[in-house]
Structure 1
Amino acid sequence: MLRIAHLSDVHILDPHTRRSAARYRITARAVSMGRSVDPRERARKLSRGLAAAKASGAGHVVISGDLTELGDANEFEHFATLLDEARLPDGSVTLVPGNHDAYTSADGWKKAMAGPLKRWSSASAFLTGQVVERGDVVLMPIDTSCFQSIARSGGHLTSDAVDAVHSRLRDPAFTDKSIILVFHHPPFVTERNAVWQWIDGLRGYAHAVDLLGKHPRLQILHGHLHKVVDSIVRLGKGALARVEDVARLSPRDAGRETARARIFGAPAVVDDGERPRVRLYDVRDGALESAGFYAT
């Protein structure tokens, strides 16, 4: 049985923050939202999270975005060093960028994938439509990050990405496999208002919900919310789909087989204490099922 470990929202800093340019230090402190900006503390959390993923017996690790605080080249180098030090097998880690990974430049992620993170690029969000086959499931990492001001934190599920998903779903090689989309931003409307959706939400989320409604073997892993998320997809009139949080269902509905979650969010490594929890999933009957958490 395949086990998948899921981490998210690491927010690695430049290890030489005190010697960095003043602009970097000011911006990093601004987007850290009151968190400690000690790069050693954040590095320690990631190392412990990766150690927990390894100790859990997971055969594959997913890190769903905000790997760095600003998408700075030194941050990506630091993240890559910590990932290499974890001594995970080649091809066993899937990385996708988040909004924080695109604050410095429009091509920072591509440069990181072609540079310090090249070892992991074959299983990560590098080329549109790229997939990672793991037995009965296929992971499809997608880049939803956008180069934008630090005043915004939203993402974009592009038409090219949606077309790539459709293409994979039509591929005869994947007819009997479940496809797991991995991207940073959750595929639903924020609970505040339209302005906040523009600031922090996922443009193109409706396409993701539509895909989920039409393809029952599709599931999603995401980050961004810094909390655990389990959501199901219900079909309404005209096969229109809507997403519902399992925690808000009645006990009867939550216990039904039809309520098995199809959208999963992981807690944030940066906020999860000295020993961050790793979210685990087991692949049963060709689909992911939550298997709890693990911490060292």
Structure 2
Amino acid sequence: MSTFRLAHLSDPHLAPPESAMRGGGLSKRVLSRFAWRRKRHRHDPAVLDAIAEDLRAAGPDHVAVTGDLTNFATAEEFAAAAVWLESLGHPSAVTVSPGNHDALVARGAPDRFAPWRPWLGDEADDDFPRVRVRGPVAIVNACSAVPTAPHLATGQLGGAQLDRLADVLTETGAKGLFRVLLLHHPIAPGVVSKRKSLDDAPALREILARHGAELVLHGHAHEALLNRVAGPAGPIPTMGVPSASTPAGHHDPAARWNLIEIAPGAAGFQVRIEARGVVPGPAVQPVGAYVLAA
């Protein structure tokens, strides 16, 4: 089997259409609009365009986007994000795991992320996790995005999704597939503050410790991260990337995406990472490369 090339980017925070900036009364959405006006300089459409162009030029087999495409979870933003997703590739080659901003509030947001259904998974049903088998890889798409109270950015998988996830990991592991778990929130302890954390991360870590996965990809922290959590055959790497739209020279880490090369072999899978990020310009270039230890 040939090498499978998986691109990972996250938290693009697409510039909202003007219509998404109006209405809503007194709500978390209104508070978030005020925050966006203060922080919009952290997300530059030109930087995101450069990242997307560099990613397309690399020609990966599949693209994983781990959430926060929108800012206020309005219908207008979901429609605009669908157009952007189409620019990355065919829906069968792009998978989206929704983020907390994509579920900011329930009112006025598309039900069950409906406009993104072609990018969520192959199954006809709407339940997470969704599974996509591509060559030697099982892309397991979990959803940690839930509406929360003002000033909170927590996530939750919930008992039903966790139960299904345990079954999915067992089934795909028994087939010898390289299991990549996608979700928006990081799962390693201490990566983000409590108000931004995954509420049931301990339960998820217990499932991974029993049933295993080969790699976990997340966003949310807006940082380049590599952590590990316990698995049945050894530590499982968990990786995050900065926002795909943050310009270089800002106090936040500059935009980056990872090209993950997964090569099956007689002794198991070999995994090589090439990180590509912006420098002032914006230009995108290699910013690091390494191999994940088996």
Contact 1:179 1:219 in 2 (8 A): yes
Structure 1 CA distance for aligned equivalents of residues 49 and 172 of structure 2: 39
- TM-score scaled by length of structure 1: 0.77
Corresponding residue number in structure 1 for 2:91 = 90
Match of 1:231, SS state, is strand
Corresponding residue number in structure 2 for 1:104 = 105
Task: Describe the shift of the 1:272–1:109 C-alpha distance in structure 2 as closer, same or farther (beyond 3 A).
Answer: farther
Structure 1 CA distance for aligned equivalents of residues 36 and 97 of structure 2: 20
Question: How much is the aligned-residue C-alpha RMSD, in angstroms?
Answer: 3.3
Task: Describe the shift of the 1:22–1:210 C-alpha distance in structure 2 as closer, same or farther (beyond 3 A).
Answer: closer
- TM-score scaled by length of structure 2: 0.77
Structure 2 CA distance for aligned equivalents of residues 31 and 87 of structure 1: 28
Structure 1 CA distance for aligned equivalents of residues 71 and 239 of structure 2: 23
Corresponding residue number in structure 1 for 2:35 = 31
Task: Describe the shift of the 1:9–1:219 C-alpha distance in structure 2 as closer, same or farther (beyond 3 A).
Answer: same
Corresponding residue number in structure 1 for 2:78 = 76
Gaps of at least 5 residues in structure 1 are 242-257
Corresponding residue number in structure 2 for 1:262 = 237
Please say if 1:278 is aligned against 2:257: yes
Task: Describe the shift of the 1:150–1:284 C-alpha distance in structure 2 as closer, same or farther (beyond 3 A).
Answer: farther
Match of 1:184, SS state, is coil
Task: Describe the shift of the 1:109–1:282 C-alpha distance in structure 2 as closer, same or farther (beyond 3 A).
Answer: farther
Percent identity of paired positions between Structure 1 and Structure 2: 22
Task: Describe the shift of the 1:226–1:122 C-alpha distance in structure 2 as closer, same or farther (beyond 3 A).
Answer: same
Structure 1 CA distance for aligned equivalents of residues 158 and 10 of structure 2: 22
Contact 1:68 1:75 in 2 (8 A): yes
- For 2:118, the aligned partner's letter is R
Task: Describe the shift of the 1:204–1:173 C-alpha distance in structure 2 as closer, same or farther (beyond 3 A).
Answer: closer
Match of 1:262, SS state, is strand
Structure 1 CA distance for aligned equivalents of residues 206 and 45 of structure 2: 38
Task: Describe the shift of the 1:4–1:130 C-alpha distance in structure 2 as closer, same or farther (beyond 3 A).
Answer: same
Contact 1:230 1:263 in 2 (8 A): yes
Corresponding residue number in structure 2 for 1:251 = none
Match of 2:40, SS state, is coil
Q: Deviations over 1:168-218 (max 9, x none)?
A: 1332785211211100000133368xxx42x21111111222233234443
Corresponding residue number in structure 1 for 2:152 = 152
Please say if 1:202 is aligned against 2:201: no
Structure 2 CA distance for aligned equivalents of residues 122 and 293 of structure 1: 26
Match of 1:156, SS state, is coil
Q: 1:3 deviation in Å?
A: 0.9
Corresponding residue number in structure 1 for 2:216 = 220
Corresponding residue number in structure 1 for 2:68 = 66
Structure 2 CA distance for aligned equivalents of residues 26 and 173 of structure 1: 44
Structure 1 CA distance for aligned equivalents of residues 79 and 260 of structure 2: 29
